Amino acid sequence: MNILPTVKLKSSFHNEKEIVQVLFERNEEITRLLRSKMQLRWSKTMNCWYVPFSKTLSNELFQLLRGIAYLNDKDLKKEALPEPVHALSNLEAGVLNIEGIKKVEELKGWMRSKRYSESTISTYTDALRAFLKYCNKPVSNISNQDLISFNNEYILANKLSASFQNQVVNAVKLFLRIVENKKIDVELIHRPKRAKVLPNVLSKEEVRLILNAHNNLKHKVMLSLIYSCGLRCGELLSLKPEHIDSKRNLLLIKQAKGRKDRIVPLSTKIIDMLRQYFISCKPQVYLFEGQKKGEPYDVSSLQKVLKQSLEKVSINKPVTLHWLRHSYATHLLENGTDLRYIQEILGHSRSTTTEIYTHVSTKSIQNIVSPFDYLL
């Protein structure tokens, strides 16, 4: 008997507007349905999905999710909420003045000239805009103390996420250095401790089951290529036929995260699978195309392919496509591959990022004999 997932509704405020948090465990089907039928949006500061408040929301979602998920609306206020208790003492702090608007645009222009990604530009400018609204003072008068106060009186008071706190510090630091040509004393700024979360790793047997679950050749090759080369989802879907060098057993990844090119080794087995795939599917522009020729395969469809694999082999873990990349790196390490090479293959800028896989590799840990075994 399948137990339906639960979708929980919680009344809240976001950007001074009344909203409803839509809380549920990662589920691509529910996400896709709500994004297509409702005004579902993601909030980085709240770290959750949300929709605008309406008195009919509960009934609408109940009908929409019937047979798909249970709806828990006990924390949803049926009437309009009272105005939020604002953490800002100055009522004008929520309005960005003309100077602030100009300064945000200056930072945005500089970041674009340096070819930052649009997502990074949006994250930094949104964080800077929030900070300048809070300060509501000439930018030349902004000091370390303003940033400390913003952390304590706004971010912490409103229980905003640690990631948002770090984003604000990074954005203000860059803004003052580039636009204002002055520095803040980072040592005085309170940064939250970064959570030490280990990557999720599958066993080799679990990976084998997942990759062999599909009879569809395209689906099998896509999942196999992610694991066999440690690819990110976006990297796989951006691949073109000319990126495969079968003579040298190499795969070229163009303009990946951080706008970096890199090469990764190709397994001879995956090359054989790719040859069969080429004969069968005849891709034109992208290596993996959707229903329309010349257009890349859709990311949500790829996630669905993985979900179908998990269902077929009865793996109940909340596996994502990125788990295959983590598993590839961990299995390389367990096979004796040097960390420096793994770092190059994965495209990590810092070795410390790659070193996290040493904490999930079980090869050495399993060789440790517990003192309990020596007890009589």
Torsion on CA atoms 231, 232, 236, 237, rounded to nearest 10: 180
Which residues are CB-neighbours of 83 under 8 A, at least 6 positions away?
A: none
| Contact status, residue 30 vs residue 65, Cβ threshold 8 Å | yes
* 22-72 tens-digit pLDDT: 888 888 888 888 887 787 888 876 778 888 887 777 778 877 888 888 888
Which residues are CB-neighbours of 171 under 8 A, at least 6 positions away?
A: 107, 123, 124, 125, 127, 128, 131
Local confidence band at 91 (pLDDT 50, 70, 90 cut-offs): very low
Local confidence band at 88 (pLDDT 50, 70, 90 cut-offs): very low
What's the pLDDT at 209? 95
What's the pLDDT at 2? 52
- Topology, domain 92-188: DNA polymerase; domain 1 (1.10.150)
CA distances 249 to 176, 193, 243, Å, are 47, 42, 11
Looking at residue 199, the DSSP 8-state letter turns out to be: P
Q: How far apart are CA 357 and CA 90, in angstroms?
A: 47
Annotation marks residue 328 as catalytic: no
Structure-block tokens of residue 274: 């790719």
What's the pLDDT at 86? 40
Structure-block tokens of residue 137: 């003072």
Residue 287 has pLDDT above 50, yes or no: yes
Which member of 232, 240, 254, 304 is catalytic? 232
What's the pLDDT at 16? 54
What's the pLDDT at 266? 92
Looking at residue 83, the DSSP 8-state letter turns out to be: P
Residue 260 has pLDDT above 50, yes or no: yes
- Ordered alpha helix ranges (H), 53-198: 57-64, 98-113, 118-135, 144-150, 162-178
Looking at residue 289, the DSSP 8-state letter turns out to be: B
Element housing 17 (H / E)? strand 17-23
Structure-block tokens of residue 138: 């000439």
CATH code, 204-359: 1.10.443.10
Domain spans of the chain, in order of start: 6-75, 92-188, 204-359
Lowest mean pLDDT: which of 85-89, 190-194, 325-329? Answer: 85-89
* 14-36 tens-digit pLDDT: 665 678 888 888 888 888 888 87
CB atoms within 10 A of CB 153: 14
| Contact status, residue 183 vs residue 176, Cβ threshold 8 Å | yes
Structure-block tokens of residue 84: 């939020």
| Contact status, residue 287 vs residue 240, Cβ threshold 8 Å | yes
What's the pLDDT at 117? 78
Which member of 257, 262, 304, 312 is catalytic? 257
Q: Is 223 exposed, middle or buried (0-12, 13-18, 19+ CB in 10 A)?
A: buried
Annotation marks residue 341 as catalytic: no
Local confidence band at 270 (pLDDT 50, 70, 90 cut-offs): very high
Residue 312 has pLDDT above 50, yes or no: yes
Q: How far apart are CA 317 and CA 307, in angstroms?
A: 10
The residue behind tokens 């993601």 is 42
Annotation marks residue 322 as catalytic: yes
Residue 279 has pLDDT above 70, yes or no: yes
Q: How far apart are CA 76 and CA 61, in angstroms?
A: 12
Residue 94 has pLDDT above 70, yes or no: no
Annotation marks residue 41 as catalytic: no
Model-level pTM?
A: 0.59
Q: Which of the residue ranges 40-49, 88-97, 114-123, 314-323 has the most confident prediction, judged by mean pLDDT?
A: 314-323
Which member of 219, 325, 326, 331 is catalytic? 325
Structure-block tokens of residue 7: 């979708």
Residue 87 has pLDDT above 60, yes or no: no
Annotation marks residue 331 as catalytic: no
Annotation marks residue 14 as catalytic: no
Same CATH topology for 92-188 and 204-359: the answer is: no
Residue 272 has pLDDT above 90, yes or no: yes
At 47, the amino acid letter reads N
Q: How far apart are CA 12 and CA 10, in angstroms?
A: 6
Residue 201 has pLDDT above 80, yes or no: yes
Mean pLDDT of the 83-98 span: 48
Candidates 210, 225, 238, 198; CA nearest to 360 is 198
Element housing 327 (H / E)? helix 321-334
Three-point CA angle 255, 125, 102, nearest 5°:
125
Lowest mean pLDDT: which of 148-157, 227-236, 242-251? Answer: 148-157
* 320-362 tens-digit pLDDT: 899 999 999 999 988 888 888 988 889 888 888 888 888 777 6
Strands 6-14 and 70-75: parallel
Over the chain, what is the mean pLDDT? 82
Mean pLDDT of the 121-135 span: 86
> Is pLDDT larger for residue 306 or for residue 66?
306
CB atoms within 10 A of CB 271: 16
What's the pLDDT at 83? 42
